[in-house]
Structure 1
């Protein structure tokens, strides 16, 4: 049976390397002001760096962070949908395009920018050669303050699978039927819903809690075998 691991930043290793990367995606869907649940919100963890919105005549409408009424948010989301992966849910504040910002210093093979997972070209290709499935990455637009900067890519880690209802408090309201907001905090002891987990990829995000990156045992074993620094693993139960 496949084992699954919560992939997080190894902060001690990041401090040891000493470098940093900071940026934001070039385009984004607006947040939403929902007339049904009354919430003004945007999701975190939904990012598609390989999706280029420059071909849209309306691309400038995706450059500024702001909340919009649900009807306007829906209009903008439908403009983007044909360019996004077929299974993308595209909640409010979904990000697109390259990460724009700055970076400096020596960086670990895996680098985090908040919930965004970055990787150098060589480690990515070595993982793919090891048979790790479904890894997709695109160039960043980070400006380095050094000569001969590394080629740093952003992994497009798409949401798949779900947290099991058993780890979600029973008093949490169901998702809003209009905007989809599901106001849960991350459980202290996450459980993955086994039937929802993908079988075609070794790295993904949790669909209903997208800040959580999950790797399979194949991904974990390849990372450890190749001595790739920057991430830690915590095994999660499935049910």
Structure 2
């Protein structure tokens, strides 16, 4: 099985854009061990609904908190995310809320790590046998009043890993908060043993801004003529 990094097709010619943020999120964390204040830029679970959670008000305002407070809040929502999923500081939940305008292709990248798909394209991929596609409709106000597209933010769980051979020399992760802090290398190599078999599209567990799809996903996208996305093959080791 081949695997590909997913990126925006900047030559597609669409004018669509989204200005939005997730409805809820965990705070960033200030670690007493390594001294860092940090949050994940990309980990998100749009299908997790906190609208009925008794403590939902604590997940509205983005902010840093002491690590102990972050851990307390994480425990409150741990049972709501997919089993075994990573929940770092700054993890986002629920739908994107905001504004949208312009024309959209089948796929749209809000930032390089938030993947949005038109509803009909997602359903076509599911009908074609692509595994693991789930998401949530954003709460967007469109400038155009006539026939705005129905969009879905895909929930891409952090699963596969970069292989250690492509990572720079670095100290071990913080024993208290788990922060590694390495920068994304130019030449990526995937750890073959870490890659999932139950889903065809995901984000990397040790660098969540990198979106990956396998050849089943790529072949279905191209066979269906879906646009807005390009594929760059990644080596395995």
**Aligned: 1:6 with 2:5:** yes
Aligned to 1:108: 105
Distance in 1 between the 2:104 and 2:158 partners? 26
Structure 1 vs Structure 2 CA RMSD? 0.8
Distance in 2 between the 1:132 and 1:23 partners? 28
The 8 Å contact of residues 10 and 230 in structure 1, kept in 2 or not, is answered as yes
Aligned to 2:165: 166
Aligned to 2:223: 225
Match of 2:232 among 221, 231, 234: 234
Distance in 1 between the 2:172 and 2:195 partners? 21
Distance in 1 between the 2:16 and 2:72 partners? 40
The structural deviation recorded for 1:58 is 1.0
Aligned to 2:210: 212
The structural deviation recorded for 1:222 is 0.7
Count of paired positions? 235
Structure 2: gaps of 5 or more residues = none
The 8 Å contact of residues 86 and 205 in structure 2, kept in 1 or not, is answered as no
Aligned to 2:128: 130
Aligned to 2:56: 59
Which runs of 4 or more aligned residues in structure 1 lie more than 4 Å from their structure 2 counterparts after TM superposition? none
The 8 Å contact of residues 173 and 183 in structure 1, kept in 2 or not, is answered as no
Q: TM-score normalised to the size of structure 1? A: 0.96
Distance in 1 between the 2:87 and 2:197 partners? 22
The structural deviation recorded for 1:205 is 0.5
Distance in 2 between the 1:144 and 1:87 partners? 36
The structural deviation recorded for 1:12 is 2.0
Aligned to 1:25: 22
The structural deviation recorded for 1:63 is 0.6
Aligned to 1:86: 83
Distance in 2 between the 1:177 and 1:89 partners? 16
Distance in 2 between the 1:145 and 1:194 partners? 44
Structure 1: gaps of 5 or more residues = none
Q: TM-score normalised to the size of structure 2? A: 0.97
Distance in 2 between the 1:39 and 1:145 partners? 40
Distance in 2 between the 1:227 and 1:123 partners? 10
The 8 Å contact of residues 118 and 149 in structure 2, kept in 1 or not, is answered as yes
The 8 Å contact of residues 5 and 215 in structure 1, kept in 2 or not, is answered as yes
The 8 Å contact of residues 100 and 140 in structure 1, kept in 2 or not, is answered as yes
Aligned to 1:140: 138
Aligned to 1:121: 119
Distance in 2 between the 1:20 and 1:133 partners? 27
Distance in 2 between the 1:40 and 1:106 partners? 38
